[in-house]
């Protein structure tokens, strides 16, 4: 991880009465896949639009590659690849012509441009569709075209705003693998999503936002360590004497239990072998039990613990 690529300092953006960004700060280092995770309406797209100087903001400052970002910073913009939430391609151009157009905004040498366009087509796997117009493509293929248009000029910084919304699983995997590969090839990536599983899988550093504010930041492990509840063990059991329940409550790392509808739930903080210790107590007391399952925390638990509501509540 090298130098700072993006620095947002105390950004405030209002839409009339609504404060869409509320003193929002971020620092993104070279080589990261930086995830901006938040429910719909939390301010992700507003952040990206301000970052790119496409939207005026009320307060704060933005630096990219160590320079102040302004609407006329073409030297900076040239090194950025943008994949917007709403697909932006020309309906009257073919797949090939669209990618060629966007690449041509930055790459003027003809031979180099042809090579870059072909590489982008291969990268997103659209070889069989080069003569198609966008209207003939499925949602997933259209997203891949949108990505090819954004990355063909080989930018240093790639920004993707919810690139997998309404995309079939095959295209989704292709997109996620592609982003990891772009990063391995040297690009710094900013990735916004309201799907925590994707952010967990892909991102090296994560900021969780809600209502225009950053509510937590770290690697996924750091974020998970912020919350007490690191493992939940659930055991289906018909009979659980109070003495056995308190024996389990006194095990190391166990901090809370509940017994409702024949389901015994044990919350454990950190530590390994929690499940084995719990089951040993049941066996020693000759208690038989049914299904057993454990859940590790997700970024949703982090969000839930900090805000008291779920990321999933707002799932579309």
> Which residues in this chain contact Mg ion in the complex, by CB under 5 A?
44-45, 85
* Of 41 and 104, CB closest to ligand ADP: 41
Minimal distance, residue 13 CB to ligand ADP, in Å: 8
* Of 50 and 268, CB closest to ligand ADP: 50
* Of 31 and 41, CB closest to ligand ADP: 41
Closest CA to 233 of 176, 157, 296, 283: 296
Contacts with ligand ADP in 19-78 (CB under 6 A)? Answer: 20, 38, 40-46
Minimal distance, residue 86 CB to ligand ADP, in Å: 11
Closest CA to 174 of 135, 142, 130, 207: 142
Residue 304 makes CB contacts below 8 A (sequence gap 6+) with 310, 311
- Partner that binds at residue 46, options Mg ion, ligand ADP, none, CB closer than 5 to 8 Å by kind: ligand ADP
* Of 35 and 38, CB closest to ligand ADP: 38
Minimal distance, residue 156 CB to Mg ion, in Å: 23
- Partner that binds at residue 150, options Mg ion, ligand ADP, none, CB closer than 5 to 8 Å by kind: none
Q: Cα angle at 33 between 28 and 35, to 5 degrees?
A: 80
Count interface residues toward ligand ADP (CB under 6 A): 11
Minimal distance, residue 195 CB to ligand ADP, in Å: 13
Give the number of other CB atoms < 10 A from CB of residue 6. 22
Residue 198: φ, ψ to 5°: -65, -45
Minimal distance, residue 12 CB to ligand ADP, in Å: 13
> In the complex, which residue's CB is closest to Mg ion?
45
Can you name the residues that pair with 208 across neighbouring β-strands?
37, 216
Q: Cα angle at 284 between 282 and 288, to 5 degrees?
A: 45
**Site for ligand ADP contains 18 (CB under 6 A):** yes
* Of 83 and 117, CB closest to ligand ADP: 83
Under DSSP, the state recorded for 136 is: G
Residues that bind ligand ADP (CB under 6 A): 15, 18, 20, 38, 40-46
């Amino acid at each position: 991880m090298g130098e700072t690529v993006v620095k947002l300092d105390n950004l405030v953006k209002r839409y009339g009465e609504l404060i869409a960004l509320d003193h929002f700060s971020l620092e993104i280092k070279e080589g990261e896949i930086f995830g901006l995770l938040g429910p719909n309406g939390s301010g992700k797209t507003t952040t990206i639009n301000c970052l790119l100087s496409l939207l005026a903001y009320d307060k704060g400052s933005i630096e990219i590659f160590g320079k102040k970002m302004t609407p006329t910073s073409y030297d900076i913009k040239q090194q950025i690849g943008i994949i917007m939430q709403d697909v932006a391609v020309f309906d009257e151009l073919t797949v090939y012509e669209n990618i060629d157009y966007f690449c041509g905004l930055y790459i003027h040498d003809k031979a180099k441009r042809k090579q870059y366009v072909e590489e982008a087509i291969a990268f997103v796997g659209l070889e069989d569709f080069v003569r198609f117009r966008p209207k003939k493509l499925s949602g997933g293929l259209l997203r891949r075209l949108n990505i090819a248009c954004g990355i063909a000029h080989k930018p240093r910084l790639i920004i993707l705003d919810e690139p997998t919304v309404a995309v079939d699983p095959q295209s989704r995997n292709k997109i996620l693998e592609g982003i990891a590969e772009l990063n391995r090839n040297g690009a710094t990536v900013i990735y916004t999503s309201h799907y925590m599983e994707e952010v967990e899988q892909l991102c090296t550093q994560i900021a969780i936002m809600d209502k225009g504010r950053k509510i937590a930041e770290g690697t996924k492990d750091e974020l998970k360590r912020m919350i007490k509840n690191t493992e939940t063990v659930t055991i289906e059991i018909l009979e659980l004497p109070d003495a056995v329940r308190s024996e389990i409550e006194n095990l190391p790392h166990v901090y809370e239990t509940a017994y409702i509808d024949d389901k015994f739930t044990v919350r454990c903080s950190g530590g390994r072998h929690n499940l084995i210790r719990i089951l040993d107590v049941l066996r020693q007391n000759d208690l038989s039990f049914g299904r057993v399952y454990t859940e590790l925390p997700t970024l949703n638990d982090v969000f839930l613990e900090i805000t008291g509501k779920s990321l999933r509540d707002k799932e579309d």
